[in-house]
Amino acid sequence: IPAAGCAPAARFQVDPYGFERPANFDYTSYEDFFSRYLVILTRRAIKWAKLLKGNRGVPKSLKVKRYIRKGIPNEHRALVWMVVSGAQSHMEQNPGYYQKLLEGDKNEKLVDTIKTDMNRTFPDNVRFRKTADPCLQKTLYNVLVAYGHHNQSVGYCQGMNFIAGYLILITRNEEESFWLLDALIGRILPDYYSPEMMGLKTDQEVLGELVKMKVPAVAELMEKHGIMWTLLVSRWFICLFIDILPVETVLRIWDCLFYEGSKIIFRVALTLIKHHQAFILEATNFPDICDRFKEITKGPFVTECHTFMQKIFTEPGSLRMATIEKLRETCRANLIAQT
């Protein structure tokens, strides 16, 4: 539970994960939320301890799915993410592989690109500063260089640094972070980070189609102003809500992402749009729409991660993977036809 460091952290203006609080951070309402959330965290921690007692496995079951949706306590997060994503079995089947990647020949261009992004990764996190001891920049560099050589069709692209950074903060383990990054990029997010980013472009179009079905008034507003979804939501997909939603909320989303797959991203996006439909519809021009899409990712609705996570499974209504796969097929074909 991150709570142990939480109350004092507020006074030092740094959260339990090392991120500096912004100058305008509302401590009063956050502490009000966290005191309530702490009760939930404590209850969940007891249940998880029982579930995992004497058993390293996390079997796929309705009970486990329910537990994950209600949040994985931070002390179990790395273990559960590793097991449910398949990263653990990949790591066990490939002993020494990560080390070999680090020791092997390097692509200089790839290495230089990654080096350039090091100082741009979480400048607001004290653990990624050069002055930190240990400084997580070196760990991040290793994970990204190893992954770029492991998956050469992807190499490295911006966004991966933030995702790997979060994985390192949670696992505190370089090799586990590498295998979780592999689970996300190789299996959970279809073709998001390849040079053409076809999977990413496809899923943004899929979101547009889902909005047409579930929040038609917002879809009409977008069409009226000729706005492409990519201009509003590309960072939601590329960064998996990092730097968009509060840290604790992002981690709760990732709990479900590792277990249930990419469908969760659509649930979160649809919830944000549907819940704020009236606010979005007040917009009268393109800059106004952009501002409103930034606004809907702030405030108590997203900070109160426990109720927000309940909302993502109710507010968008039914969302079957079969529907998403069908939409992906159509949207992908349309995108290919346009190139």
Domain residue ranges in the chain: 86-188, 198-338
pLDDT score of 190: 79
- Confirm if 177 and 145 have CB atoms less than 8 A apart: no
Average pLDDT over residues 47-74: 89
pLDDT score of 34: 93
Q: Which amino acid is at 193?
A: Y
Residue 30: CB atoms within 10 A of its CB come to 19
Nearest Cα to Cα of residue 249 among 207, 199, 333, 311: 311
Give the burial class of 5: count Cβ atoms within 10 A of its Cβ; 0-12 exposed, 13-18 middle, 19 or more buried: middle
pLDDT score of 57: 72
What integer best gives the mean pLDDT of the chain?
93
- Confirm if 242 and 250 have CB atoms less than 8 A apart: yes
Q: Which of 11-15, 69-73, 93-97, 99-103 has the lowest mean pLDDT?
A: 11-15
Average pLDDT over residues 315-338: 95
The position carrying tokens 């309705």 is 62
Peptide bond into 22 cis (omega under 30): no
Helix (H, G, I), strand (E, B) or coil at 14: strand
Nearest Cα to Cα of residue 66 among 338, 330, 260, 321: 260
Identify the DSSP state of 128.
Answer: G
Judge whether 86-188 and 198-338 match in fold: no
Dihedral of the alpha carbons of 75, 161, 209, 66, in degrees to the nearest 10: -10
Average pLDDT over residues 315-335: 95
Has residue 125 got a pLDDT over 70?
Answer: yes
Give the burial class of 26: count Cβ atoms within 10 A of its Cβ; 0-12 exposed, 13-18 middle, 19 or more buried: middle
**Residues 208-230: pLDDT tens digits?**
999 999 999 999 999 999 999 99
Confidence band for 10, pLDDT divided at 50, 70 and 90: very low
The whole-model pTM stands at: 0.94
β-bridge partners, 189: none
Q: Which amino acid is at 270?
A: L
pLDDT score of 53: 86
Confidence band for 13, pLDDT divided at 50, 70 and 90: confident
Dihedral of the alpha carbons of 193, 19, 274, 74, in degrees to the nearest 10: 90
Residue 138 CA from chain centroid, whole number:
22
Average pLDDT over residues 136-160: 96
Confidence band for 192, pLDDT divided at 50, 70 and 90: very high
Q: Which amino acid is at 130?
A: K
The position carrying tokens 């590329």 is 238
Distance of alpha carbon 138 from alpha carbon 102, whole angstroms: 12
Confidence band for 173, pLDDT divided at 50, 70 and 90: very high
Q: HSE (CB half, 13 Å, CA atoms) of 30?
A: 21
Assigned CATH class of 198-338:
mainly alpha
Give the burial class of 270: count Cβ atoms within 10 A of its Cβ; 0-12 exposed, 13-18 middle, 19 or more buried: buried
- Confirm if 279 and 296 have CB atoms less than 8 A apart: yes
As a CATH number, domain 86-188 is 1.10.8.270
Nearest Cα to Cα of residue 309 among 62, 37, 19: 37
**pLDDT above 70 covers what percent of the chain?**
96
Average pLDDT over residues 181-200: 93
β-bridge partners, 125: 19
**Residues 263-305: pLDDT tens digits?**
999 999 999 999 999 999 999 999 999 999 999 999 999 999 9
Residue 118 CA from chain centroid, whole number:
19
**pLDDT above 90 covers what percent of the chain?**
87
pLDDT score of 56: 64
Query: What are the tokens at 78?
Result: 């790395």
pLDDT score of 208: 97
